[in-house]
Structure 1
Amino acid sequence: MNRSKWFFHPVFVFIFSILALGLSLFLYIYWYMEVSTGLEAVVRKFNIAPDQVLESETWVVIMVLSILVGIILAGIFTIFVYHQKTLQLYRLQHNFINNFTHELKTPVTSLKLYLETFLKYELPREEQSKYIHYMIQDARRLSDNINRILNLARIESKSYNGDFIVADLVKIAKQFYAGNSHLFQNCEISILNASGESFLYPVNTSLFEMLLINLLTNAIKYNKSELPRITIRFERQKRQLFIHFEDNGIGIEKSHIKKIFRKFYQVGRADDMSAKGSGLGLYLVQSIARIHKGKVVAKSNGIGKGTVFTLILPLYESVRC
């Protein structure tokens, strides 16, 4: 536990709230007994009106009790909020474990089935090639899921490799697509830069490519079109660079737009297996964007109308070409 935030721990807040409550009750009883037993002696000794003594003591105690009650209420509210967040995190993790287990188990089961088929039967070359192709897809799927976990650990621990260099983002995107076109054989990807200018930006190349692969594979995964289409469009608006990733996928309901970047969040429920993926891809995307001093926002007109993910980065005069 972080020592600088130990006083925000719910256990400490709860104990402190109970102590505050007990102290308030003690002070109230103590004040009541003191006033009741000492009021007559004070009046006789100083020959003053009882209302004057009671009025002064009353306002002091009311102020103290009000502060203590405020502390109690704040403590209870903090515990409630913490409990709700903990419950939400538990549900997200439960959903993640169920679906990620499915994501790992499915390709492993498939690989086992194909290998057993190879072992039992003599297959013609054409059939062998078909099964090997399926096995490569399953191995790639398994590798992608494992890499997401490893990448998440590196990013959150800030142990990712590579330095930040000033590079042209349009060029990086084109080189990435050219070097990984085999991953997108069954879809159409366009990279557009209407202005024709170079957008130089301090970037960690490996992380930026990780952002690209997650956004592109996400657009393909959530797409039911015969030919998935993705357009990467570069646009400068004043001192900001907007990189739009537009797809013709299944779209996103407005109620999910702000939630999809949360860790472990998946659209759908774990009990009916309607959620896809690990719930880490878009969280990684947003984390990488923040490392680069930017952010990613999503926009969709609804189910069946595609989605636009936009990476927003600040442009600096010193690196603008």
Structure 2
Amino acid sequence: MKQVKWLFHPILVFIFSVTALVVSLFLYIYWYIEVSSGLRSAMVRFNVEQDQVFAADTWVVILVLSILIGTILLGIFIIFVFSQKTTQLYRMQNNFINNFTHELKTPVTSLQLYLQTFSRYELSREDQLKYIQYMLIDVDHLTQNINRMLNLAKLESKSYMGEFVVCDLVKTVNQFLEENAHLFKACRIAVHGPDATTVYQRINRHLFEMLLMNILTNAVKYNTEKMPRVDISIQPARRRTHIRFTDNGIGFDRKEMKKIFRKFYQIGRSDDMTAKGSGLGLHLVQNIARLHKGKVLAESQGRGKGSTFTLILPALE
């Protein structure tokens, strides 16, 4: 049964179809040339003029036929590529659903356990506060996942409305880190701005903070060091502003450089590493960058060597 299923694999079907089409074209041309040669020999023998048998546009017909078959081959190839991408997207969606379900189920199960503990036992005030703190962390986790989904839906539908204002980037990043210091207690984040220069940029503050949150949480999440580290470097140029986020995390292979911004893509799903998150964070980051008329580039020297994400924004005129 497995062998029969293997024979109907899309790649094999595509190869067989293209091969059959090419062979049929070759055999047709070969047959035509052989028949034409035989006819010419017969005409020479019986002294028959060739114009009475062969049309002047014979090779034009062959050329047109070749172009049509080439077009068919191109169409088959496009359909094959589209089919493969659709299959890949379907697999990524399945991975996302499975992983995101786990992301939602884990805190819900934890909350249920804590609430059952509250209902069945008499707890001291100290234990109550401890469990309430755990529950608040789970609720915050749930809220982040739900908000990520809602925000992505708004961004992709282009229904997100927000005000763009001119801000000092260094001040904005530092303020964001101060307000969210409780989320990054176990890591070291350093901001490096240009000396004696204020970098102003037109941004949507809410979206920009969402971008910072996703990049920084990714840097902490995909990190096996005892002390995760992120260096944020803000460098103004003549026409662009570069904001680099360099971490000491797990990094990624060169082949994953463009894939990591795809929706649902998760580093580690295809190897022995455990994939984390929902696969939406960096896709959300790229969408936010585009709304700011910019883009995000990713770099890494390989697994275990950290990574650098560079946000490029048009300079304020």
TM class, shorter-length: 0.7 to 0.9
Change (3 A) 1:141 1:273: farther
Match of 2:94 in 1: 94
Matched, 1:300 2:300: yes
- Structure 1: how far apart are the matches of 2:167 and 2:52? 78
Ranges in structure 1 where 5+ consecutive residues have no aligned partner: 1-20
In 1, the alpha carbon distance for the partners of 2:245 and 2:145 equals 22
Taking structure 1 as the reference length, the TM-score comes to 0.79
Q: How does 1:228-239 map onto structure 2 within 5 Å?
A: 228-239=228-239
Instruction: Tell me the secondary structure at the aligned position of residue 144 of structure 1.
Output: helix
Aligned to 1:251: 251
Q: Which amino acid aligns with 2:118?
A: F
**Contact 1:99/1:273 (CA < 8 Å) preserved in 2?**
no
* Residue in structure 2 matched with residue 311 of structure 1 by the alignment: 311
Change (3 A) 1:82 1:97: same
Distance 1:91 1:271, change over 3 A: farther
Specify the code of the residue in structure 2 equivalent to 1:165: V
2:215 is the alignment partner of 1:218: no
User: Shift of the alpha carbon at 1:106?
Assistant: 0.7
Indicate yes or no: 2:171 matched with 1:171. yes
Residue 283 in structure 1 maps to residue 283 in structure 2: yes
Q: 1:54 Cα deviation (Å)?
A: 1.7
Specify the code of the residue in structure 2 equivalent to 1:119: S
CA distance in 1, matches of 2:253, 2:108: 32
Q: What's 2:65 paired with?
A: 65
- Matched length: 280
- The verdict on how the C-alpha distance between 1:128 and 1:270 changes in structure 2, with shifts beyond 3 A counting, is farther
- Specify the alignment match of 2:136 in structure 1: 136
Query: How far apart, in 2, do the equivalents of 1:232 and 1:186 lie?
Result: 17
* Aligned counterparts, 1:143-154, within 5 A: 143-154=143-154
SS in 2 for 1:56: coil
Paired position in structure 1 for 2:79: 79
Given that residues 168 and 200 in structure 1 are in contact (C-alpha distance below 8 angstroms), is that contact kept between their aligned partners in structure 2? yes
Provide the aligned C-alpha RMSD in A.
Answer: 2.8
- Give, in whole Å, the separation in 2 of the partners of 1:97 and 1:117: 30
* Alpha-carbon distance in 1 for matches of 2:56, 2:202: 65
| Cα distance, 1:301 vs structure 2 | 2.5
Superposed structure 1 runs of 4+ greater than 3 Å apart: 270-273
189-198 or 106-115, which deviates more: 189-198
Residue 181, structure 1, aligned to residue 181, structure 2: yes
**After the TM superposition, which residues 174-213 of structure 1 pair with which residues of structure 2 at under 5 Å, given as runs?**
174-213=174-213
Amino acid aligned to 2:63: M
8 Å CA contact 2:192, 2:233 repeated in 1: yes
Q: Note closer, same or farther for the CA distance 1:151–1:273 as it changes in structure 2 (3 Å cut).
A: farther
| Secondary structure in 1 matching 2:54 | helix
By how many angstroms is 1:257 displaced? 2.4
Distance apart, 1:256 and its partner CA:
2.1
Q: Deviations over 1:254-307 (max 9, x none)?
A: 332221111000012389882100000000001111111211112223333322
Using a 3 Å threshold, how does the CA distance of structure 1 residues 306 and 126 change in structure 2: closer, same or farther? farther
Other structure's SS at 2:278 match: coil
What is the identity percentage for the equivalent residue pairs of Structure 1 and Structure 2?
A: 62
**Structure 2 unaligned residues grouped into runs of 5+:** 1-20
Give the SS at the match of 1:159: coil
